[in-house]
Amino acid sequence: MAKVAGHTGMRVDDARLLTATNLVQELLIYQGKWPGLEGRFAFCVYDGVITLPRFYVTLIKASDVNCVIPVHNQWFEFLGYGPGQQNSETGWINGIIDRGEMPVARQPAADELVVRVRSFEDERDADGTRAQIRVFGYGNDDVWIRTQDATTDEWYDGVKIDLRGDDSVNWADSLKYFSSITKVLKPATVGRVELTYLAADASETFCATYMHDETHPSFRTYYLPGVDSTSLPDGLRVYAWARRRFIPVTGDDDEMMITNLPALRSGLIALRMQETDKFRAFTEHFNAAKAFLTAESEIYNGPINPPMDMQDADFGFSDVENVR
């Protein structure tokens, strides 16, 4: 940060420098497939759904042990000559289907499930009162959940659940049944917060884990039709090539998504030119930043050699001899 601060006219400890750096990073990451933005990961399928952790935004390619699985966008089931709606009976031969964003890693698998919230630190609001997490969604019979405040008698959407990390019993329950969760509002906390589903027999199943800085949690989800992983304790593992989600830097120890120093410096200069309505200079410096990242990518990725298409000796197209 010290090396790029001189190009902004701001001190290293100036909060505006962090804001400007985040803005430059967000501008640049959408301009190409730069080193570190994509990679190979393994995800587990639960209830036929792949939920990407908060650090990842897009599933680009996927495969299991035996074959590559195509990945389709949300329009796939609505194409005029497409396969139509996919479900557990159609199977996953047509591939993985994007199902958009979801506030939890897993939705309730049955009705009459209570949400249990665990925290592990003393979480307080600015006025010293115990912090709360707010969960929105539908209950039994798909009825929208609303709650009456015990103090003011006013009604509000969802339920508010205390974060009791400072108690010997560090959990609290929603006291209302959920059949689906549509939104979660969480304050910035000291430690992580975990959500589980509590059944009538007191058994718990995983719902979500939120990091300390998550306030409006959202996870990208993909549907893999016909995969029943309920009998597998750790789910069915799928290998994927995925793209990382942009997460702003908030402290000195946070990881930068763009680490190319010349690109960052050019991007910060471009941002300053944009703020002063010098758009020609902005374009020049912004293109310079992309050029630095392009050069880095060429070195980092190395030569790309497409695989040779090999055919068996008795297989050929038409009567062309040289492909037999």
Residue 321 belongs to some domain of the structure: no
Determine the pLDDT at residue 285: 95
Determine the pLDDT at residue 86: 82
In this structure, the answer to whether residues 118 and 198 fall within a common structural domain is yes
Determine the pLDDT at residue 323: 46
In this structure, the answer to whether residues 13 and 92 fall within a common structural domain is no
Residue 10 belongs to some domain of the structure: yes
Last residue in a domain, options 231, 248, 265: 248
In this structure, the answer to whether residues 73 and 62 fall within a common structural domain is yes
In this structure, the answer to whether residues 227 and 293 fall within a common structural domain is no
Of 38, 70, 44, whose CA–CA distance to 238 is shortest? 44
- Domain ranges, residue 210: 113-217
Q: Is the dihedral of CA 113, 134, 190, 108 positive or negative?
A: positive
Residue 46 belongs to some domain of the structure: no
In this structure, the answer to whether residues 81 and 120 fall within a common structural domain is no
List of the chain residues with pLDDT < 70: 1-12, 65, 111-112, 228-235, 304-324
In this structure, the answer to whether residues 25 and 84 fall within a common structural domain is no
Cα–Cα distance for residue pair 235/141, rounded to 1 Å: 29
Q: State the number of CA atoms in the 13 A half-sphere of 127 facing the CB.
A: 2
In this structure, the answer to whether residues 197 and 235 fall within a common structural domain is no
In this structure, the answer to whether residues 98 and 230 fall within a common structural domain is yes
Determine the pLDDT at residue 5: 58
In this structure, the answer to whether residues 212 and 196 fall within a common structural domain is yes
In this structure, the answer to whether residues 210 and 129 fall within a common structural domain is yes
Determine the pLDDT at residue 92: 72
236 contacts: CB under 8 Å, gap ≥ 6: 44, 45, 64, 224, 227, 229
Helix ranges, the chain (H):
2-5, 15-29, 261-275, 279-301
Of 32, 53, 55, 57, whose CA–CA distance to 44 is shortest? 53
Cα–Cα distance for residue pair 93/69, rounded to 1 Å: 8
3-state secondary structure 2-16: HHHHCCCCCCCCCHH
Q: Which amino acid is at 208?
A: A
Residue 24 belongs to some domain of the structure: yes
In this structure, the answer to whether residues 174 and 265 fall within a common structural domain is no
Cα–Cα distance for residue pair 50/44, rounded to 1 Å: 6
Gyration radius of the chain's alpha carbons: 25
Determine the pLDDT at residue 112: 64
The predicted model scores a pTM of 0.82
Give the count of domains, the chain: 3
Residue 137 belongs to some domain of the structure: yes
In this structure, the answer to whether residues 157 and 185 fall within a common structural domain is yes
Residue 58 belongs to some domain of the structure: yes
Residue 107 belongs to some domain of the structure: no
Residue 83 belongs to some domain of the structure: yes
